[in-house]
Amino acid sequence: MLYNKKIILGITGGIAAYKCAHLVRLLVKQGAEVKVILTPAAKEFITPQTLSVLSKNEVIIDFFDANFNWNNHVHLAEWADVMLIAPLTANTLAKMASGLCDNVLMATYLSAKSKCIVAPAMDLDMYQHPSVKHNLDILKTNGNLIIPAETGELASGLTGEGRMAEPENIINFLLDFFKQSLPLNGNTALINAGPTYEAIDPVRFIGNRSSGKMGIAIAESLADKGAEVILVLGPSSEKVKNSAIKIVHVESADQMYEAMLSNYNNKDVVVCSAAVADYKPARVSDKKIKKKDGDLNLELIKTKDILSELGKLKKKQCLVGFALETENVLEYAAEKLKNKNLDVIIANSASEKGAGFGVDTNKITIIDKHNKISNFELKSKQEVALDIVNYLIDLIK
Ligand code: CTP
């Protein structure tokens, strides 16, 4: 997604400008915020009104427009996460290569600190001309990215290379561009979250109060930073917003164990935030247990400790555990870090107000394997997740 990405779309005067209505629509659909700058020639090919309606912003054309302060190009340039110029004509290309500044688009380009991506469009022979090729090389050398023109029917009637890349291909290029700039691009992560339910009979179970919120927030945050994420999720009613996260639904500690072990190989980061039951009923009745006179005693047996098992099998993984304690928080957490062969443990206290199960906030302390302690303030679980993920990025990069 291009959610919340700020994009300046510069449109120059070529026939392919008509495709920009569709391009703007696709950008907005992806969640991007779009501001359009037209060169004076571009408005001969597409109307500012159309682009303004589709982008939901005023379209900028001239330094002296009523809605534009002549030096606003500097703010615009600072605002943008990326500048996209599509279609890029040979004329604007030459200006970009030489630094000529005779319109708002060029002034914005020359002020921009963000990357500029261009999608050239021109006729067959123009695109092949040595001076055009030379100017494209200069643009590349100056750090711009080029979406090559595509081959097909051209406005002149000729057929060949020179068509502006299709809007869908421009969108894919942008998606790739933003993905590659993320710190965890190319990394893989495995997380477990939520409670486990240990069946007593077909209608009853032993569970706990974990909502799964903290682990889901970590999974979302890892995915936002570019990691490929698998989330092994116990029974939780929380929604996972990022559809790129692969979710494996499980119910019991045994199922969670299987899912974690089978996905463990070659992961870069593994976070165990699930509140896994330590004990399960020794026997599960296949029929509903009927009420009888007297008491009922349940025999409980130990479940496998998933995190300890992962610690034993650890190769390159950065293994992260949680410790939810009610007393001696740091001491118990440090013991778990050592005993379970972890790289990092996140300690939180169930007796501290606003921390632990069921609430939307948390207050954590991170301890690493060299006993370095980092304390964090009480924050929303999303902010805590971001702190944890930023900490892990520093650790593994
Ligand atoms: N954990 C696990 N498998 C279990 C129990 C716990 O993987 N059967 C993991 C949790 O996901 C967490 C860490 O171990 O990351 C610590 O869990 P916690 O419940 O705090 O500690 P326990 O090891 O269960 O010990 P205790 O309950 O006695 O504090």
Q: Does residue 219 form part of some domain? A: yes
Please provide the average confidence, as pLDDT, over all residues in the chain: 96
User: How far apart are alpha carbons 73 and 35 in whole angstroms?
Assistant: 12
Same domain, 74 and 208: no
- How confident is the model at residue 169, as a pLDDT? 98
Over residues 249-273, the pLDDT tens digits come to 999 999 999 999 999 999 999 999 9
38: amino acid identity, one letter: L
Show the CA angle centred on residue 273, arms to residues 271 and 332, nearest 5°.
100
Please give the tally of structural domains in the chain. Answer: 2
Indicate which residues carry an active-site annotation.
Answer: 208
- Which tokens hold the place of 150? 């595509």
CA-nearest residue, atom 24 of ligand 1: 278
- How confident is the model at residue 358, as a pLDDT? 77
CA-nearest residue, atom 14 of ligand 1: 307
CA-nearest residue, atom 29 of ligand 1: 325
User: How far apart are alpha carbons 116 and 109 in whole angstroms?
Assistant: 8
- How confident is the model at residue 248, as a pLDDT? 98
- How confident is the model at residue 1, as a pLDDT? 79
- How confident is the model at residue 237, as a pLDDT? 96
User: Of the residues 126, 154, 180, which one is the last residue of a structural domain?
Assistant: 180
Show the CA angle centred on residue 18, arms to residues 12 and 21, nearest 5°.
100
Tell me, using a 6 A CB cutoff, whether residue 280 lines ligand 1: no
**In the predicted model, is pLDDT for residue 69 greater than 80?**
no
Tell me, using a 6 A CB cutoff, whether residue 323 lines ligand 1: yes
**In the predicted model, is pLDDT for residue 135 greater than 80?**
yes
Same domain, 245 and 389: yes
Q: How many CA atoms lie within 13 A of 14 on its CB side?
A: 27
The dihedral built from the CA positions of residue 54, 60, 66 and 70, taken in this order, carries a sign that is positive
- How confident is the model at residue 9, as a pLDDT? 98
Tell me, using a 6 A CB cutoff, whether residue 324 lines ligand 1: yes
Distance set, CA 107 to CA 60, 64, 72, 324 (Å): 12, 13, 10, 55
CA-nearest residue, atom 27 of ligand 1: 278
Residue 322, phi-psi category: left (phi > 0), alpha (psi -120 to 50), beta (remainder): beta
Question: What CATH number does the domain containing 148 carry?
Answer: 3.40.50.1950
Q: Which positions ≥6 away from 228 have C-beta within 8 Å?
A: 187, 188, 189, 244
Tell me, using a 6 A CB cutoff, whether residue 213 lines ligand 1: no
**In the predicted model, is pLDDT for residue 148 greater than 80?**
yes
Same domain, 240 and 173: no
Same domain, 168 and 275: no
Q: Are 381 and 392 in contact (CB under 8 A)?
A: no
Distance set, CA 197 to CA 49, 175, 246, 287 (Å): 58, 39, 21, 17
Hey, which residues does 35 pair with through a beta bridge? 8
- How confident is the model at residue 152, as a pLDDT? 95
pLDDT band at residue 294 using 50, 70 and 90 as cut-offs: very high
**In the predicted model, is pLDDT for residue 36 greater than 90?**
yes
Q: Does residue 1 form part of some domain? A: no
pTM of the predicted protein model: 0.81
Question: What CATH number does the domain containing 366 carry?
Answer: 3.40.50.10300
Tell me, using a 6 A CB cutoff, whether residue 230 lines ligand 1: no
User: How far apart are alpha carbons 231 and 216 in whole angstroms?
Assistant: 8
What is the span of the domain harbouring residue 239? Answer: 188-396
Residue of 140 and 62 predicted with greater confidence: 140
Same domain, 35 and 147: yes
- What's the 322 CA to ligand 1 centre distance in angstroms? 7
Which atom of ligand 1 lies nearest, measured to the CA of 324? 20
Same domain, 367 and 342: yes
User: Of the residues 118, 150, 180, which one is the last residue of a structural domain?
Assistant: 180
Probe target for ligand 1 pocket from 252, 278, 304, 344, with the most ligand atoms within 8 Å of CB: 278
User: How far apart are alpha carbons 8 and 28 in whole angstroms?
Assistant: 12
CA-nearest residue, atom 4 of ligand 1: 305
User: Of the residues 180, 215, 244, which one is the last residue of a structural domain?
Assistant: 180
